Amino acid sequence: MKNEDLAEVVAIERLSFKAPKDESVFREDEHKYLVAKEDKKVVGYIGVEKIEGETHIINMAVRPDHRGKGIGKKLMEKVLNKKDVFFLEVRVSNLPALGLYEKYGFKKVGLRKKYYADNNEDAYIMRREPDEQIP
């Protein structure tokens, strides 16, 4: 992600989440984000960071009018590799995301109770081992 992508990333964040991250979070962590573009327009993003020897997928979103076109899959394929352990948290109600993550070898390994501050929804902790295949 480059500085000029910031406004579009924040717009996607606001369209995608009930409790969107503030622009300052993206600005501070811009080196952690990868964007997907179509016709020079940002249509999705994914954020990753290394934490204690594992790779954490911070968040991912695709513009609502571009969902179902494989953009999320392409973003996942860009960040996944066969050498790192990956983990993430996902809302228990986010069935499309759960399906995508499971397709890429993520397995539910725990539950964070009341993880999301906007509605106290639980989050699954999902983990992907290095030997999992990338479809």
Whether 55 and 48 have beta carbons less than 8 Å apart is answered as yes
DSSP codes joined into one string, 47-76: EEEEETTEEEEEEEEE-GGGTTSSHHHHHH
Is 49 known to be catalytic?
no
- Neighbouring C-alpha atoms within 13 Å toward the C-beta of 112: 12
Task: Name the catalytic one among 101, 115, 116, 121.
Answer: 101
**What residues does 123 pair with on adjacent strands?**
91, 112
The DSSP symbol for 134 reads P
Round to whole Å and give the CA distance between 134 and 129: 11
Give the chain's end-to-end CA distance (angstroms, integer): 25
Is 101 known to be catalytic?
yes
Task: Name the catalytic one among 45, 89, 104, 124.
Answer: 89
> Which residues are catalytically annotated?
89, 101
